[in-house]
A and B are shown apart, each in its own frame.
Chain A
Amino acid sequence: MFRKPYIVLIALLVLAAGFILLMAQKPGEAKSEAAAQTALPTAVGEVIQAAQSVTPVMAAEVEMSAAQVREALVERAKQHLFKPGWVLVRETFTDFTKAEDYVVVPMNGQIIPKNWVRETWLLVDEGLQVKAMFSEKKMLDDTIVSLTRASDGSFGKAFNAEILPNVQIDYWTKTETLDRLIEQGETQRVVFQFLSLDGKRVLYAVYSDVFPSPIRMEGLKQPLISFSTEDHYDWEIGQFLFSEGWATLTDGNRQLVGRLEMSIDCNSTPPDAVLEGFSITPEE
């Protein structure tokens, strides 16, 4: 009497399990290598070795959790990203939605641009701690929209020192999407893969937000039903390279919304105007 429902239940569970496995597997996935990803850093090393033997464009999918990937990136960044002295971090955001260039906040006149360049000078000590920072965000026509300066007193006057713990090396690994994912309990499936780009072994991470109902947005031809971010990191040194944001529209087409690029230069010195700024406080 109860056999038939149980057969239906088992069939459904088998179907669901098969579907899950199918969704989890992508072309080019190296299952035996993926199974070896149990601990860091050994497992990560194995994946890197495995990636070299695959096609130059797309390598093995990486079966790592967001927390493991974040830990590996931060660890590598701490070893390779900064050198003692001045470090220039340059971020450029390009918005492709062709809506208005900027908005002005009526309460305080603050300008918020859609396209921007942010140059940040960091003074790094021998222990690779950031001791001073100068950050300037500009519109593409060089209009300065925000400026932040901080020092713990090691260079120039002590000013805004309380923000320095927030701009140490891990901040510049740009893993905030991973951080949000970890905060949310890693309920969302993320695809991590290795690519070969310009001779670099690049970690490619895709995160997708699926909206319960379509969202309208100026500059997009149609409402969007989901939004994906594709982050690219230099896996050897843990450096964030660039990220693209893609909207999936109601007709199924994808549209590039924005691109953030970042470069790090450890061989330059700040202009005099930046250096002189540390010797005065804004009130002077």
Chain B
Amino acid sequence: MITNRHQKRLILWLAFILLVTQFGESSAGGGSKTVSGSISGITYFAEKSVYTYTNTWTASVKSSTVTNISIIGYTWWTVYQICTNDVYSYYIRSENKNNRNSSYYEDSKYVYYKDYPCPGGSYIKKTASLGNHQFTLNSTHQYPYVEYVYP
């Protein structure tokens, strides 16, 4: 009976993996970088990411804590794409976005390759997500800088 139960589980997992690999989300390059610290004894996590797909690439910023704090978000966040001839083909900067009395803030962007091509003869060199997060508890502030550049 034990063997039976294990076999059933194994079969279900195999079927699940088969379905997910066939019909799941698109494969992506890129990754993320997370920095952790603490503010008045409360642990925080500051994360930036870049993921590339076939038609687009995405960037995100995430700030989180284990319990609610006064202000959580970022003071500035820049996303860019730079070409092999050092021309920026995509650039955006946002400032002072946050949630109050919360433990989470997230923002994201997607970039459609065809809208932001490199000049003729050059190609995408780097895509990046960078900036200072904000964690405020009463009158104590932390602004950790996190940068993720791909590749």
Contacts and interface: CB of A to CB of B under 8 A. Distances in A.
Interface of A: 1-2, 4-5, 8-9, 12-13, 16, 19-20, 23, 93, 95, 103, 105-106, 108, 110, 112, 114, 118, 120, 133, 135, 137, 146, 148, 150, 160, 163-164, 166-167, 171, 176-177, 180-181, 184, 187-188, 207-212, 215-217, 224, 227-229, 243, 245, 257-258, 260
B150 interface: no
A243 B114 CA distance: 9
Contacts of B99: none
Given A105-B91, A229-B54, 20 more contacts: A2-B3, A19-B22, A20-B22, A93-B115, A95-B115, A105-B80, A118-B120, A146-B119, A148-B119, A163-B121, A176-B113, A181-B54, A188-B26, A188-B54, A207-B55, A209-B56, A211-B53, A216-B108, A228-B55, A245-B112
B54 A164 contact: no
Contacts of B19: 16, 19
A210 B54 CA distance: 10
Contact of B11 (A9, A110, A167): A9
Q: Which of B8, B88, B113, B115 has the most C-beta atoms of chain A within 10 angstroms of its own C-beta?
A: B115
B121 A245 contact: no
Interface in B94-111: 107-110
Interface string B3-32: 110011001001100110011111101000
A24 to B, nearest CB: 10
B54 A207 contact: yes
Q: Which 10 A-B pairs have the closest CB atoms?
A: A163-B121, A209-B53, A12-B15, A229-B55, A5-B7, A166-B121, A210-B25, A9-B11, A105-B91, A135-B120
B126 interface: no
B110 A210 contact: no
Main secondary structure of the interface of B (DSSP, over half): mixed
Interface residues of B, number: 45
Contacts of B27: 184, 187-188
A210 B110 CA distance: 12
Given A16-B22, A177-B54, A148 B15 contact: no
A162 B111 CA distance: 28
Nearest to A20: B22
